[in-house]
Amino acid sequence: MSVEGWNTVLVLGGIRSGKSEFAESLVTDAPVVRYVATAPEGDPEDTEWATRLAAHRARRPGSWTTEETSADPRRLADVLASAEPNETLLVDDLGGWVTVLLDPDHQPADDVATIAELADALRTCSARVVLVSPEVGLSLVPTTPLGRAFTDALGAANRAVADACDAVVLVVAGQPVWLKPVATPAAPAAATPNATAASAPAGTAAFAPAGTAAPVVPTLADAEDIPEVQLPDVLTHTPPVAPAQEPGNPWAAPTMALPMVATGLVIQPGMELPMPDEYAGPQAVDRLATLDVPGAGLGVLDRVVGFAAATQGTSTPQAWGSVRVLLLHGDHAGGGSAGAVAGESARRAAQARAGQGALARLAAENGASLQVVDVPASAAMEDEPALTLDQVESALRYGWRLAEQAADAGVRLLVLGACGAGTEAAAAAVLAATAGAEPPTVLGRVITDSGEIDDAAWMVRCAAVRDALHRTRRSSRGAKDILAELGGGDVAVATGVLLGATARRVPVLLDGPVGVAAGMVSRDLAGQARHWCLLADHGGHPAVRLAADVLGLTPLLDLRLDLGEGANALVALPLLRSVLALSAALPVHPSLGGGDEAPTGDEPASTEPSHLDASDTDPDGTEPDFAEPEPAGPGPASTGADDQPASGWRAG
């Protein structure tokens, strides 16, 4: 969806106000759209009316389906009642529906009862619905009985439908004015990002008028009413010196832990956060075509250069030096964790802390620091909300602080991963709520420890997601509500990390369902966050594929690795770094004005192959001296552990 935070919305507007185009823009990203046409065909000789209908039909994408209800006005309520949760309905418009309702062919009829039936069907509809209706209440009272009957009936219908909808917007001269926001943000004036975001409903920042103030990035401030929470230790592991290292020994101890910081940050829909440089990315990609390479260049990996250039604000981006891996650890109760081995996620987290396992070893090889973050356990989403709203607020702020801690430490790239029972089901529920996905299509197969496929556990997970969506079918689809009802602790903290990283201009390398689910939720809070995200590989996971398509993230590779969230991205990281280093170091081709790279020194370079045998000696008979080569760059520093104890997470 282009606008999040609502399940039903009424779009009002006058004639030629742009209301239909605006309504269509709200459902642009929906995977399944059914266009419900209410207007009759009209007089065949009325060419102007036929032209209007043809223009409406021409704007509809070919993937949309169309349903006509002009034959029976009461059928519109039946269409709404029978709509599926994965559908999005666009009803255009109620003016045509009232016209048919008042038609003598459908009289006698109880117009009031029919309008009430429509409002009741709208309240119980499980699909997302956008309704378009003319606003005729601002004009003069018609002079004819038929005109007065139409305006009275349409006014009554608009009032009933507006009362049943989550949100109402009035379009005037193409400009939307939200009359009934989903949620009115209540925040101190000092913490409000800007007036536009504070006065608009969730997700409407994209329609702010031109010329508004520059984005204001919220920062952390002390607040007495929020308890202090200790951030977890940051670990820097170094590769083992020899393969025969004794198992169980940690490679390194924690190197740093920031002091506790209390936060008064207000995270709310419509925040205005920084965007990457829109010019540096294309300039960097254009520059690649001028480099002195023997072949066609970097292929699809030129997107890495464009992304790094935009996020670094330069057309010659550098390889990411300091990298930090955030591993979010938290379990989900209920059927979503069916097939998971009890205690397995805790073992993986402890393994990472000790510098063992795939994630820690890959982090060490990449010189990346590792931070294992314990997030709050989530309740069974099919029975009750996964988190309370207070826990969601604390989790979002906690994730923001994790990103700020990394930025303050000079981190240039965050790698976001998660481990926990039920994380895939929670991510699937979030995708179903935000993108209209069917749970079975985004839930990956359940693989046992022995490598077998557990179809029974997969069906239990599907049922858990289905029941959770049914339980929340009338709940708001705002970002915080989705996190509380379905997402849980890991998705909430991950969302806070994305927002905090965006505020500090730190790119994030996503890996796995939790990260992309957080990306989907973050759209409602700050639409800029997705532009700071990079997806190295989809890993063959259906949820990641769908979310990447909705977020506009094209996976760079197709390795189908399944080493665990975070580890898959670290496998690709050396390749991405090499691409950036190469693009920054290569000169321009000589034919385009660049100079040839030649050996330095007074003597010309020899054309003979250079080699040295073990028997070669200096004239005095001694072995030749060879200087040690300069290192290519600083290796991962390893320092002693700080005196601060390891810490966990608790809700504020």
**Mean pLDDT value across the chain:** 77
Read off the pLDDT of residues 207-253 as tens digits, 9 standing for 90 and up. Answer: 333 333 334 444 444 333 445 567 777 766 655 543 443 333 322 22
> Hey, how many other C-beta atoms are within 10 angstroms of the C-beta on 245?
11
> Hey, how many other C-beta atoms are within 10 angstroms of the C-beta on 159?
13
Read off the pLDDT of residues 41-84 as tens digits, 9 standing for 90 and up. Answer: 666 667 776 777 777 777 777 788 888 888 888 889 999 998 88
Instruction: Tell me the three state secondary structure of residue 327.
Output: strand
The DSSP H or E segment spanning 510 is strand 508-510
Kindly report the pTM of this predicted structure: 0.57
What's the pLDDT score for residue 203? 39
Q: Tell me what the mean pLDDT of segment 277-283 comes to.
A: 89
Q: What phi and psi values does residue 394 have, to the nearest 5 degrees?
A: -65, -40
Q: Is the predicted pLDDT of residue 391 greater than 60, yes or no?
A: yes
Q: Is the predicted pLDDT of residue 477 greater than 60, yes or no?
A: yes
What's the pLDDT score for residue 459? 93
Look up residue 384 and give its two tokens.
């009750």
Q: Is the predicted pLDDT of residue 263 greater than 50, yes or no?
A: no
Q: What whole-number distance in Å separates Cα of residue 129 and Cα of residue 385?
A: 24
Q: Which residue of the set 452, 565, 597, 630 is catalytic?
A: 565
Longest CA span, the chain: 119
Query: Which of the residue ranges 154-158, 244-248, 254-258, 504-508 would you say has the lowest mean pLDDT?
Result: 254-258
What's the pLDDT score for residue 341? 87
> Hey, how many other C-beta atoms are within 10 angstroms of the C-beta on 374?
20
Q: What whole-number distance in Å separates Cα of residue 541 and Cα of residue 550?
A: 15
What's the pLDDT score for residue 200? 43
Residue 28 or residue 604, greater confidence: 28
Q: Where are the beta strands (DSSP E) in 239-386?
A: 254-256, 323-329, 369-374
Burial of 140 (0-12, 13-18, 19+ CB in 10 A): exposed
Q: What whole-number distance in Å separates Cα of residue 369 and Cα of residue 363?
A: 7
Q: Is the predicted pLDDT of residue 509 greater than 60, yes or no?
A: yes
Read off the pLDDT of residues 88-118 as tens digits, 9 standing for 90 and up. Answer: 999 988 988 888 888 777 665 678 888 999 9
Burial of 306 (0-12, 13-18, 19+ CB in 10 A): buried
Q: What is the β-pairing status of strands 508-510 and 413-419? A: parallel
> Hey, how many other C-beta atoms are within 10 angstroms of the C-beta on 30?
23
Q: What whole-number distance in Å separates Cα of residue 306 and Cα of residue 317?
A: 9
The b-or-e profile of 200-226 (16+ CB within 10 A means b, else e) is bbbbbbebbeeeeeebeebebeebeee
State the residue for tokens 């009461």: 74
Are 470 and 531 within 8 A, CB to CB? no
Q: Is the predicted pLDDT of residue 191 greater than 90, yes or no?
A: no
Are 579 and 298 within 8 A, CB to CB? yes
- For residue 137, how far is the Cα from the chain centroid? 40
Q: What whole-number distance in Å separates Cα of residue 272 and Cα of residue 250?
A: 42
Are 234 and 373 within 8 A, CB to CB? no
Are 528 and 275 within 8 A, CB to CB? yes
Closest CA to 524 of 489, 483, 584: 483
Which amino acid appears at position 199 of this protein? S
Please confirm, yes or no, whether 565 is among the known catalytic residues: yes
